[in-house]
Amino acid sequence: MENHELANIFPMMSEEDIRALAVDIKNNGQQESIIVYEKKILDGRNRFKACQLAEVLPIYENYNGDDPLSFVISLNLKRRHLSESQKAMVAQSIANLVVGKPNRANLPDNVSLEDAAEMMNVSRRTTVTARKVVEEGQPELRQAVETGKVTVSAAKDLLNLPPEEQKYVASLNEIEIRQEVKKIRGTQGTGQNEWYTPKEFIDGVKEVFGSIDLDPASSDIANASIQADKFFTKDDNGLSKEWFGNVWLNPPYSQPEISQFIEKLIDSLEDISQAILLTHNYTDTKWFHKAQSGCAAICFTKGRVGFLSPEGQKAAPTQGQAFFYFGKNKEKFAEVFKKFGFVMVPDEV
């Protein structure tokens, strides 16, 4: 049976809790009816799913009241122990749900965020933050808030991360998420936006190349250690330039820039001698597979690269990294980079 839109303003129970409920229903029977309104489930989505798992025929009861929204809110607030952040997520859903639907007899006219917050007994400020998380964050981040893994204030800070990193952090446990949020908050207000590759990796690149002819995504500070013969800064717009020679590329990791730089690299392979690309190891992304399809070898690092700030402070990212090699000297690349991790040759695996 389909769920009513009002039922969906509250998150489902975890799969583990639903399985436990299914066992209880199997052993003791369904203790509470599933409430149906407009031929849809208004209350009891978890019981319905548990009955299916337990292979027990569900027991239904029709809702005959005139305020289904208040009915759903009242039941869930009584039976569920929700945090303020979880309540705020529900509140913003209530406000979203009824906007533009004033002609529905069973819905109030355009509930404001203030009124929705009051219904859920949560602050307006927290509800506004929840709305921001929903509108700007990745679905995985929203789910992490709804399940209580992360607060809305922490999720707001995580919005500063690229989409792929939001997804990764949301997949961590609660302690790990708090650690990542602490790192982010530690850099806020410092103006720090650039992180540089440590010297040992650049030395490895030079050992493979002999010398670096071009760094198309660099800065004056970065090139002080990289020492490329030619480099392009953000103001130069390396995407608009011709690439040549031995290319070292540590591109911006935000979208769409990372995809654009990798696309440019692949398109320039006939014009360059060889290239080494450094990225996070996001193997689920299109840009990662684009890079893998054109490279001769990949090194997956042991641990995370400790990128450096302009002041020399080390900060580890929230995931591991990968070096892609493009060119005809993959044996040399494998020989040099095996000390940093394990090397794979795509056409040999």
Q: What are the domain boundaries of the chain? A: 7-187, 199-348
Look up the pTM and report it.
Answer: 0.50
CB atoms within 10 A of CB 299: 25
CB atoms within 10 A of CB 159: 15
Token pair 């799969």 in the structure block, residue: 15
Domain 7-187 in CATH 1.10.10.2830: yes
The whole-angstrom separation of Cα 94 and Cα 117 is 9
pLDDT tens-digit map of 150-203: 999 889 988 878 788 888 888 888 888 887 777 666 554 434 445 678 889 999
Q: CATH topology for 199-348?
A: Rossmann fold (3.40.50)
Helix or strand holding residue 246 (H, E):
strand 245-249
Yes or no: say if 233 and 218 are a contact pair by the CB < 8 Å rule: yes
Handedness of CA 41, 47, 52, 56 (dihedral sign): negative
Average pLDDT, the chain: 86
pLDDT tens-digit map of 239-283: 999 999 999 999 988 778 899 999 999 999 999 999 999 999 988
